[in-house]
Amino acid sequence: MTIVERAIERLRRQGGHPTAPATVAVGTMVHESAPDLAQASSARRILIDRDALRQAGYLPETAVDRRFASYFRQIKRPLITKVQSAADAAGPNPRVIVMTSALPGDGKTFTSINLALSLAHERDVSVVLVDADIPKPHVSRIFGVDAEPGLTDALASVDLDIESLVLPTDVGNLSVLPAGRGADNATELLASARMGAVLTRLLSRHPRRIVLLDSPPLMVSSEARSLVAIAGQLVMVVRSGRTPRKAVLDALAEIGAERSVSLVLNQGPTGFGGGYGAYGDYGAYGESGAEKA
């Protein structure tokens, strides 16, 4: 079980009352000349505005950045270890990591983004953050690529190469795959053989690439259950003092007792050691209702 003592969340106040910031785009699509003109005449890339990312509540304040980064190092290390130790094991590939939660508002997307950024700092790892929350594609909206083709487009068309839809960012080793257009049959698309082929294609690009899928919450969507079935590793975010115990147990039952699940405790009351209690002064950083699921 992996526990982060505080997924530090900011309480924004205006006039003495909490104000929930709206979901805003913190990324800008740019078109650049490709270094290899024989391959393409242009390339798309996401420029991430880190200040906007902080203001929107998806990065910690600079004063606590180092401590916050250490928490995500504790989350990612067991995941990377399993990738390295179980590379040839039978079953779902451990390089496919699904991030989910029992209910909306537990901090799933916030955790996905910060875990992806932390993984991208590894020297021998590249990561593709996949927006697999088709009903509510928060990752795509946050990075300003919700109008771009993505996962659902590749699932709907066998002629579309998924790799052509992966968008690199200005953060080394980090790419984003948008959700794509909405689909009424998203559950069936995610459960299809085509989804397996898409994942195989993404993994074959680089032997140490990790595919991190931001999933819908388990208890409110059938899409999440389709993603659980293909996950090599499962991470479930639980928000301390908010997620009902029954919802957590029901979500774990949906996953199945035979599956291993890493739990991330968001806003936990206890720390890894002395000195972390100061984080209790922070409010709901990165969470503001449904828009920050």
Residues 100 and 78: their CA atoms lie apart, in Å, by 17
Question: pLDDT by residue for the chain (293 residues), tens digit each?
Answer: 333 333 333 333 333 332 333 344 565 556 554 444 334 334 688 999 888 888 888 887 777 778 878 889 999 999 999 998 865 666 789 999 999 999 999 989 989 999 999 999 999 999 999 999 999 999 999 999 999 999 999 999 999 999 999 999 999 899 999 999 888 899 999 999 999 999 999 999 888 999 999 999 999 999 999 999 999 999 999 998 889 999 999 999 999 988 999 999 886 654 433 322 222 222 222 333 333 44
Distance of CA 224 to the CA centre of its chain: 13
Residue with tokens 């009352």: 17
Which one-letter DSSP state was computed for residue 114? H
CB 94 within 8 Å of CB 82 = yes
Which one-letter DSSP state was computed for residue 89? -
**pLDDT score at 182:** 84
pTM of the model: 0.79
Instruction: Say how many CA atoms lie within 13 Å of 43 toward its Cβ.
Output: 18
Residue with tokens 């002395």: 274
Among 146, 150, 174, which residue's Cα sits nearest to residue 161? 150
Torsional sign, CA 251, 215, 196, 117: negative
Structural domains in the chain, CATH included, are 13-281 (3.40.50.300)
